[in-house]
């Protein structure tokens, strides 16, 4: 991996000092201290968005291979429609762009899977019901963790994690405790569902929150251009129904983006490139699982791989011709 050297001011020194990136012994003496960071294609604005400071580009590929070498597990895409694999926890890094062989620009979101490991397997008593697997990711603080949760990690034999999540799985997709789920768990061309918390917009009106149309700006209308209009009838029903679309707090809610296509997998830096945007701010936690709406297509791809194809079949259709036919 290539490294680049840059000079940073006092504002960004605490972030780099926490990772030991300063080359000088007395880090912080000079206003512009030289530091070494991994070279990447992302530009960060340290002053505008502090949540981006949480994002780190650490090489976890060797760690994943070392841990998973103890287990004899073959993870692949579900082989039938009703099969459910375990998901993963990731952190949104930001957005970038790539170009396909046709020269089309594809906007992509970069997700980092930070040391995601299996913590616990919860088997159901009734065999008909699905089972759950608990996974954890990130690096937790031992000073802020409860003793009960600390014992939970000690029993599993894994480091303290920052976030936990559970996924419903079938019995044929069990993973051993301590198994590390990295970006190689998902293949290029696979469709995944990403769940996160959307950005909070605060209190917004009905036009922005519910896409209402505004009223006339002329013909005698004044001071009510962005008003929602009538809320109820007069005598009947004589009340405002529950769930009426009105102004209120917008965003900061759980949101799921379905059928996001995996465009690239960066195993050394534990990065996953998916097409399009996903909910959440940069640095926020997201959960990743196999796409349920595209399960039939993924099962067909698995059958083609079993016949001797090593990689997923690409889209051989010219996108320009596809767009012309659709229009």
User: How does DSSP assign 185-239, residue by residue?
Assistant: GS-TT-EEEEEEEPPP-EEE-HHHHH-PPP--SSTT--S-TT-----S-SSSS-S
What is the topology classification, in CATH, of domain 61-200+251-310? Answer: Elongation Factor Tu (Ef-tu); domain 3 (2.40.30)
**SS3 state of residue 86:** coil
Q: Kindly report the CA angle at 114 between 16 and 271, in degrees rounded to 5?
A: 90
- The pLDDT value given to residue 212: 96
What is the C-alpha to C-alpha distance for residues 192 and 291, in angstroms, rounded to an integer?
A: 4
**Is residue 269 a contact partner of residue 57, using CB atoms and an 8 Å limit?**
yes
Q: Which of 98-107, 116-125, 198-207, 305-314 has the lowest mean pLDDT?
A: 305-314
pLDDT score, position 61:
64
- How confident is the model at residue 297, as a pLDDT? 73
Look at 307 and 194; give whichever has higher pLDDT. 194
pLDDT at 35: 45
Confidence of residue 308 (pLDDT cuts 50, 70, 90): very low
Cα 186 to Cα 74, 193, 276, 321, 324, distances in angstroms: 12, 12, 17, 30, 32
Phi, psi (rounded to 5 degrees) for 77: -70, 150
More confident residue, 13 or 107: 107
Of 262, 80, 292, 252, nearest to 187 by C-alpha is 262
Write out the H or E segment, with its range, that includes residue 273. strand 271-275
Instruction: Report which listed range, 15-29, 84-98, 136-150, is most confident.
Output: 84-98
| DSSP summary character for residue 150 | H
For the stretch 253-298, pLDDT in tens is: 999 999 999 999 988 888 999 999 999 999 999 999 998 888 777 7
- Counting residues of the chain whose pLDDT is more than 90, the rounded percentage is 37
pLDDT in tens, 88-106: 999 999 999 998 888 889 9
- Residue 112 vs residue 126, higher pLDDT: 112
Summary mean pLDDT of the chain: 77
Decide if pLDDT at 58 tops 60: no
Higher pLDDT, 268 or 8: 268
- The structural domains of the chain, with segments of one domain joined by +, span 3-54, 61-200+251-310
**Rg of the chain (C-alpha set):** 24
Look up residue 105 and give its two tokens.
């620009």
pLDDT of residue 78: 67
Residue 60 DSSP one-character state: -
Would the pTM count as exceeding 0.85? no
Of the pLDDT bands very low, low, confident and very high (cuts 50, 70, 90), residue 300 is: low
pLDDT of residue 139: 87
**Residue 127 reports pLDDT greater than 80:** no
Residue burial 69-103, b: 16+ Cβ < 10 Å; e: rest: eeeeeebebbeeeebbbbbbbbbbbbebeeeeeee
Lowest mean pLDDT among 124-138, 141-155, 206-220, 302-316: 302-316
Q: Over 90: is that where the pLDDT of 202 sits?
A: yes
Task: Tell me if residue 51 falls in helix, strand or coil.
Answer: helix
Q: Which of 88-102, 123-137, 215-229 has the lowest mean pLDDT?
A: 123-137
Average pLDDT score over residue span 129-145: 86
d(CA 278, CA 94): 10
Top-confidence range, 180-184, 242-246, 266-270: 242-246
Query: Which SS3 state, helix, strand or coil, does residue 151 take?
Result: helix
For 195, residues 6+ apart whose C-beta sits below 8 A from its C-beta are 254, 255, 256, 257, 279, 286, 287, 289
pLDDT at residue 110 is higher than 80: yes
pLDDT at res. 148: 87
Judge contact between 213 and 143, C-beta under 8 A: no
- According to the model, what pLDDT value does residue 217 have? 94
């Amino acid at each position: 991996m290539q490294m680049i050297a840059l000079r940073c001011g006092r504002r960004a020194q605490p972030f780099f000092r926490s990772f030991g990136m300063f080359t000088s012994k007395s880090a912080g003496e000079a206003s512009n201290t030289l530091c070494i960071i991994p070279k990447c294609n992302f530009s960060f604005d340290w002053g505008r968005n502090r949540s981006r400071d949480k994002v780190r580009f650490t090489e976890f590929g060797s760690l994943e291979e070392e841990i998973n070498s103890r287990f004899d597990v073959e993870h692949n895409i579900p082989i039938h429609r009703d099969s459910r694999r375990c998901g993963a926890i990731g952190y949104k890094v930001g957005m970038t762009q790539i170009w396909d062989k046709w020269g089309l620009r594809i906007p992509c979101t970069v997700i980092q899977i930070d040391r995601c490991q299996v913590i616990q397997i919860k088997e159901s008593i009734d065999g008909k019901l699905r089972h759950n697997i608990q996974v954890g990711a990130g690096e937790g603080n031992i000073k802020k963790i409860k003793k009960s949760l600390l014992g939970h990690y000690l029993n599993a034999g894994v480091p303290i994690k920052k976030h936990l999540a559970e996924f419903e799985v079938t019995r044929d997709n069990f993973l051993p405790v301590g198994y590390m789920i990295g970006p190689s768990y998902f293949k290029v061309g696979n469709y995944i569902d990403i769940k996160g918390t959307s950005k909070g917009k605060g209190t917004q009106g009905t036009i922005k929150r519910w896409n209402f149309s505004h009223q006339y700006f002329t013909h005698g209308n004044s001071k009510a251009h962005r008003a929602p209009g009538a809320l109820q009838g007069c005598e009947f029903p004589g009340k405002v129904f529950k769930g009426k679309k009105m102004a209120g707090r917008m965003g900061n809610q759980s949101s799921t983006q379905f059928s996001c296509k995996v465009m690239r997998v960066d195993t050394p830096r534990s990065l996953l490139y998916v097409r399009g945007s996903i909910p959440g701010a940069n640095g926020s936690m997201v959960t990743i699982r196999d796409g349920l709406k595209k399960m039939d297509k993924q099962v067909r791809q698995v059958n083609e791989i079993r016949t001797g194809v090593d990689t997923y079949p690409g889209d051989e259709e010219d996108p320009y011709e596809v767009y012309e036919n659709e229009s």
